[in-house]
């Protein structure tokens, strides 16, 4: 039987695959990455201005810092350190990591230290507020500021210990989705090291302090709900604390969710396809969650500005280059506006009456000598 193929093989052509572009080997163009350097630049300017203002106000109040002042001072230092690394993150977003292994280790370690330091210091602040409101006892004494600074130094040292895997295993390696670009990523000798590092970060660096934060904030809010409105207005530091905790979880929870998902895939040995790796690299691990965590250091000064009238007053005094009469007194930046205003009026009356009192004292002394 004859089979007629109707010219199926009559028009054969040869194709040159030399100029063929394999779309599956790399990620498609990411328009979000174009905006990331701009976000980093805006965050750098606003963050340095805001945190610099916080540091200046606390420095002018350095002779009479409260417990919360000292903790916020160390939080400001942590934010400033992370802000200084934003230009390197911007370069990485555009051209990959072209700066070298040394800066790769430094930037990665600062990123982790900032995260650990933020959550541990917030846990200490919440614990102090919880004890002072619920149990009417102070965890730290305002009269011993060096003890509080010592606790903060211990927190810094512990955070440095937790960042040891970043100092050891961060390296500049070829990007899996684009071999022409380099990336700053971990390169572990064994998978068990990778898993142990992730579990240490998730359990010790996030879960345990997060539970302390949630427990203390819940106790504080329940206590304030069952007390008079006067106490709620007086202890404004709880409002600042709750706002800081909420901002921290909004900024860092997506990053840790991605970390948990990646760790679960490592435990179950789930392989990630090229498209999934590209999509995850674009929207979560490399861009969205990391950017959200990096820009968290811009939020804290905004919270202070909106929730503390005393902080706003001192900010306006610095902007207007006017003297601030309360720089050396015991005004708290985090108490209620009503309390600060009444105390401030009393202090102003005392200051205005001081010359008259001095004159009366001088006249009395002269009468005694006569």
In this predicted model, what pLDDT tens digit does every residue of 141-189 receive, in sequence order?
A: 777 888 889 999 999 999 999 999 999 999 888 766 555 678 888 888 8
Residue 29 clears pLDDT 70, i.e. is over it: no
Q: How many residues does the chain have?
A: 370
Q: Assign 170 to helix, strand or coil.
A: strand
Compute φ and ψ for 331, nearest 5 degrees. Answer: -65, 135
**Structure confidence by residue, pLDDT tens digits, 336-360:** 433 343 443 344 344 444 445 555 5
Residue 139 clears pLDDT 50, i.e. is over it: yes
- Single pTM value for the model: 0.77
Residue 9 clears pLDDT 80, i.e. is over it: no
Mean pLDDT value across the chain: 76
Nearest to 185 by CA among 159, 165, 206, 207: 165
DSSP 8-state secondary structure symbol assigned to residue 171: E
- Which range (20-29, 46-55, 156-165, 173-182) has the least confidence? 20-29
Q: Which residue has the higher pLDDT, 342 or 125?
A: 125
Residue 317 clears pLDDT 80, i.e. is over it: yes
The span from the CA of 67 to the CA of 144, in Å, is 9
Ranges of each domain in the chain? 30-311
Is there a contact between 107 and 85 (Cβ–Cβ < 8 Å)? yes
Query: Architecture of domain 30-311 in CATH?
Result: Up-down Bundle (1.20)
pLDDT band at 303 (very low <50, low <70, confident <90, very high): very high
The span from the CA of 89 to the CA of 164, in Å, is 20
Which tokens sit at 47?
Answer: 């963050």
pLDDT at 370: 54
DSSP 8-state secondary structure symbol assigned to residue 233: H
Nearest to 68 by CA among 302, 308, 233: 308
């Amino acid at each position: 039987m004859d089979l007629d193929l109707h010219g199926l093989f009559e028009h054969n052509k040869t194709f040159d695959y030399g100029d063929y572009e394999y779309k599956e080997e790399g990620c498609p163009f990411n328009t979000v990455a174009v905006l990331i350097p701009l976000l980093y630049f805006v965050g750098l300017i606003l963050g340095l201005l805001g945190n610099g203002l916080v540091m200046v106000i606390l420095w002018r109040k350095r002779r009479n810092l409260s417990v919360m002042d000292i903790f916020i001072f160390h939080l400001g230092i942590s934010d400033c350190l992370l802000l200084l690394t934003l230009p390197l993150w911007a370069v990485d977003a555009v051209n990959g990591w072209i700066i070298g292994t040394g800066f790769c280790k430094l930037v990665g370690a600062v990123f982790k230290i900032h995260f650990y330091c933020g959550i541990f210091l917030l846990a200490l602040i919440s614990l102090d507020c919880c004890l002072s409101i619920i149990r009417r006892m102070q965890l730290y004494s305002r009269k011993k500021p060096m003890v509080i600074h010592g606790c903060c130094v211990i927190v810094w040292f512990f955070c440095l210990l937790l960042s040891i895997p970043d100092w050891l295993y961060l390296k500049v390696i070829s990007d899996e989705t684009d071999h022409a670009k380099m990336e700053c990523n971990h390169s572990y000798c064994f998978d068990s090291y990778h898993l142990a590092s992730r579990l240490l970060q998730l359990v010790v660096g996030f879960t345990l302090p997060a539970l302390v934060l949630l427990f203390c904030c819940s106790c504080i809010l329940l206590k304030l709900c069952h007390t008079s409105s006067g106490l709620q207005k007086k202890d404004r530091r709880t409002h600042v604390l709750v706002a800081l905790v909420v901002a921290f979880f909004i900024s860092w929870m997506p990053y840790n969710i991605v970390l948990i998902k990646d760790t679960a895939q490592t435990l179950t040995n789930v392989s990630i396809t090229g498209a999934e790796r590209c999509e995850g690299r674009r929207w979560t691990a490399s861009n969205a969650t990391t950017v959200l965590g990096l820009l968290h250091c811009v939020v804290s000064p905004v919270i202070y500005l909106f929730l503390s009238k005393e902080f706003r007053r001192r900010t306006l005094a610095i902007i207007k280059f006017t003297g601030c009469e309360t720089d050396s007194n015991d005004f708290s930046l985090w108490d209620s506006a009503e309390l600060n205003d009444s105390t401030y009026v009393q202090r102003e009356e005392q200051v205005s009456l001081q010359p008259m009192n001095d004159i009366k004292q001088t006249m009395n002394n002269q009468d005694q000598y006569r």
